Structure 1
Amino acid sequence: MQPLSKVISEGGCIETCPHKEVPMFSVILYYVTFAITIFITWIYQQQRCNYAKGPASSSHIQNSSLKSLFYEGTYIWLLLIVFIPVIILGFRYGIGTDYFNYHDYYDRARSLGLASIMQTEPLFLLVSYLGSLIAQDYYGMLLIVAFLTMYLMVLGLNRFRDDFSLPMAMLVYLALLYGPSFNIIRQTLAVSVIMLAFRYLEKRRFYAYAITVLVATLFHTSAIICLPLYFINVPKAAALSRTKKLIIVAVILALPFMYLMTTTILSHISYFAGYFKVYDFFNYTPRWGALLVQVPVLIPVLFLRKQLAERHEIYDFYIFLFLLEFVAIYYGFYMIWAFRLMYYFFIAQIILIPATLEVLKEKSMRLGLQIYYSYYYIGYFFFTYYMSHSDAIFPYMSIFNQ
């Protein structure tokens, strides 16, 4: 998988998907899917959420219980939101660079008994195994994984339903992570679980957060990187918050001197060793365009940082998470696997981009920034997946026309 930053850093498309003419039908299909999904999200927010009455002067991030969400009918709305993109994901054929690798993964899960599944990333094997029992074929398993990935993400986003524009958040999510959902399906599922985990981070519930992160790790081991993020989200009222933040910054600055030692140690741990055999960790070809492509959306966030913090201090954490995305891209110059960490940090953009719109008091400025963001993310998806053939999601083919 190569996001836009990865494509730019290497100056081209992935080797497995050379440039070729792609029917415009596939482009239209994806954008129509996005448009319908965003429109249903807009209807949901207008009909069922307090946001429709106008943004509040301060954040009121929802923490509704699962029971209350059920009685409100929220789950039905979320099902409607994800229905079409899940169908597109589930009934694809040969789409995604790892499509046939996951077919082998599925066949392996079918041949294993439950007693043999408990190994590295066992939850995905378990989902594959259950999919083989329920759906009886590979496409059914893809449908189940797609549903879990999309539904858990929108369920995590739903806590912001009265705080900012969910349609804008959905646009950012689809532009950044829908393409990877055709390819690195274990990790995108783990990212959705992490979105749910951040709910507990925001509420300072460490044990619930840690357990949820560990669940994500059982889908993809890279999710373990999110565990120490809990200690970055230090409330302003905490006496040692400044000291802790200084320590965290110092550790990040020291990382260039530590990563060689760390990778050497991890390569000898069986839980992580597989990644060190597969990925090239010494790809010394830094190209700064990979970082610069993220700057256009970072600038407004930094410019409005004070207003965001006044609205809710949790946004300070997500700004820090956004900056960690740049760290992941930088390390991706030297060890390709580091780019995988970026997908967890994409959550910051999904939350911060719509949040910045709400802190602008002038409607004209808000509209202008909304148009700016919309063009950026629509263009991001087009360049990354259509022009550069990343993730091999073009041209789209379904199981009905293979």
Structure 2
Amino acid sequence: MTHAIYAIAFSISLSGCYLVKRHAKCGFRTIRYGQLFKISYQKYRIWDYMLIALPPIILLALRYGIGGDYYNYERFYEQYVESGTSQFEPLAEVIMSFNNYVFGNYQSFLALVATVTFLLIVNWCVRLADSDSLPITIGIMYCFYFGNAMNTIFQILAAAIILYSFYYAQQRNIIKFMITVVIAALIHSSALIVLPLYFVILKNDKKENSRYSGKEILKIWGILMISIIFAYIFTKYGALYKFAYSGYIGKYSEGGMINVYLKLAVLLYIPELWFMSSLLKKSKKYELYYILVVLEMICYTMSISVAYAFRMAYYFSFAHAIIIPAIIENCISTKSKVVVKIYFIMVLLFWFIFTTYVCKYNGIYEYKSIIGL
């Protein structure tokens, strides 16, 4: 039953991606309030967004007792409502206070956070992805973030906000970048990990001929090599010198087979790095996403011996949703596009099935809901 529920929900969601292409040229409507407020929107796009986002939102909102931290968050929520204090950051407390004032129960809290999280994710995907590649972009985001959204609730919301900070970094708008990161950090302080990236991200040049040279491509490889060496040293000697959390989680201790993430990611890293040179020569905008993939590698490598280091990858994994469609689009022949697309789809399906049903990460199997499913 669980397999059918997830399959049907994701199929409905992906069908909305094809409507986005159909409605891409629909007219805009504008809402005004004097000279102070104006917002423009595309009528049919709103329904497309909802069709894409509603299935995961409903699944998360109606779940009962599943998700690794379901009961932990329930306890934290009730403690905060009763005492007014919690272990969470200030804006996370504001969300809980707002929910308690308006709705008054934990299940509504889950629905509220799920709604905001996936509307942010879907909006980001629609704005950045080409309409032809939107289904695979959405599929990648679900693969990496759906299960986690049932578990690390506030951190995934923070990650959904961080998505937008990199756009401002590429535009060299440090004020909006900082505001976005601070908002995310006020929900989950781990979001501060992205702050240094502002200073290594190149400005996004909109010119089509803005391309990389060979030396700039070596920069990415240099970051990769240095990162791997750093991660190796830290994971090998961290426990010996008692760095915080190092060695806390092993293969059979709390957290499970944490090295699985790195093993699975290799199936994506190999083709992504293989096509890196051609993508960077095509446009320098891909530099950011390859840097994020490198940072994800570090997190997964450190997760071999460092507790919960893999959770820092939440802020970087969305890069695959840009790189993979770009690889498919830039394959030379139609035949190769088909082969590469099938490969990535199979890897992503394997990733979701293996982590969900075999390793049982995030506790989303078997699905249980408040309506008895």
Pairing partner for 2:21 from 19, 39, 45: 45
Deviations 1:216-242 (A, max 9, x none): 11111211111112222135899x989
Indicate the residue corresponding to 2:372 in structure 1: 401
Cα pair 2:262 2:301 within 8 Å, conserved: yes
Q: Is 1:81 equivalent to 2:52 in the alignment?
A: yes
Q: Which runs of 5+ in 1 are unaligned?
A: 1-24, 51-65, 268-275
> Residue type matched to 1:360 in 2?
C
SS at match of 1:302: helix
Q: Is 1:382 equivalent to 2:353 in the alignment?
A: yes
Q: Give the distance between the partners of 2:237 and 2:359, measured in 1 at CA.
A: 34
Pairing partner for 2:277 from 291, 303, 306: 306
SS at match of 2:316: helix
Measured at CA, do residues 335 and 67 of structure 1 come closer, stay the same or move farther in structure 2, by a change above 3 Å?
farther
Cα pair 1:164 1:358 within 8 Å, conserved: no
| Identity over aligned pairs, percent | 28
Cα pair 1:27 1:386 within 8 Å, conserved: no
Deviations 1:92-136 (A, max 9, x none): 1101121111111211232355xx67x751212211111112222
Pairing partner for 2:198 from 230, 239, 242: 230
Q: Give the distance between the partners of 2:88 and 2:105, measured in 1 at CA.
A: 23
Pairing partner for 2:136 from 160, 165, 168: 168
Indicate the residue corresponding to 2:303 in structure 1: 332
Indicate the residue corresponding to 1:365 in structure 2: 336
Indicate the residue corresponding to 2:115 in structure 1: 147
Q: Per-residue deviation at 1:152? A: 0.8
Measured at CA, do residues 375 and 227 of structure 1 come closer, stay the same or move farther in structure 2, by a change above 3 Å?
same
Q: Per-residue deviation at 1:71? A: 4.4
Measured at CA, do residues 376 and 249 of structure 1 come closer, stay the same or move farther in structure 2, by a change above 3 Å?
closer
Q: Is 1:36 equivalent to 2:41 in the alignment?
A: no
Measured at CA, do residues 294 and 148 of structure 1 come closer, stay the same or move farther in structure 2, by a change above 3 Å?
same
Cα pair 2:19 2:48 within 8 Å, conserved: no
Counterpart mapping for 1:257-296 below 5 A: 281-283=247-249, 290-296=261-267
Q: Is 1:133 equivalent to 2:104 in the alignment?
A: no
Indicate the residue corresponding to 2:207 in structure 1: none
Cα pair 1:385 1:391 within 8 Å, conserved: yes
SS at match of 1:44: helix
Deviations 1:353-378 (A, max 9, x none): 11211112322211221111111111
Q: Per-residue deviation at 1:49? A: 6.0
Measured at CA, do residues 208 and 303 of structure 1 come closer, stay the same or move farther in structure 2, by a change above 3 Å?
same
Cα pair 2:300 2:310 within 8 Å, conserved: yes
Cα pair 2:235 2:306 within 8 Å, conserved: no
Cα pair 1:49 1:162 within 8 Å, conserved: no
Q: Is 1:210 equivalent to 2:178 in the alignment?
A: yes
Q: Per-residue deviation at 1:261? A: 11
SS at match of 1:294: helix
Q: So what's the TM-score if we normalise by structure 2?
A: 0.82
> Residue type matched to 1:372 in 2?
Y
Cα pair 1:318 1:352 within 8 Å, conserved: yes
> Residue type matched to 2:165 in 1?
A
Pairing partner for 1:178 from 118, 121, 146: 146
Measured at CA, do residues 247 and 128 of structure 1 come closer, stay the same or move farther in structure 2, by a change above 3 Å?
same
> Residue type matched to 1:99 in 2?
Y
Q: Give the distance between the partners of 1:196 and 1:358, measured in 2 at CA.
A: 24
Cα pair 1:311 1:359 within 8 Å, conserved: no
Measured at CA, do residues 355 and 127 of structure 1 come closer, stay the same or move farther in structure 2, by a change above 3 Å?
same
Q: Per-residue deviation at 1:204? A: 2.0
> Residue type matched to 1:316 in 2?
E
Q: How large is the Cα RMSD of the aligned pairs? A: 3.4
SS at match of 1:142: helix
Deviations 1:270-315 (A, max 9, x none): xxxxxx6xx6754466997653321222222222223322443121
> Residue type matched to 2:191 in 1?
A
SS at match of 1:293: helix
Q: So what's the TM-score if we normalise by structure 1?
A: 0.76
Q: Give the distance between the partners of 1:27 and 1:69, measured in 2 at CA.
A: 39
> Residue type matched to 1:381 in 2?
F
Q: Per-residue deviation at 1:26? A: 0.5
Indicate the residue corresponding to 1:156 in structure 2: 124
> Residue type matched to 2:82 in 1?
S
Counterpart mapping for 1:98-137 below 5 A: 98-113=69-84, 120-137=88-105
Q: Per-residue deviation at 1:192? A: 0.5
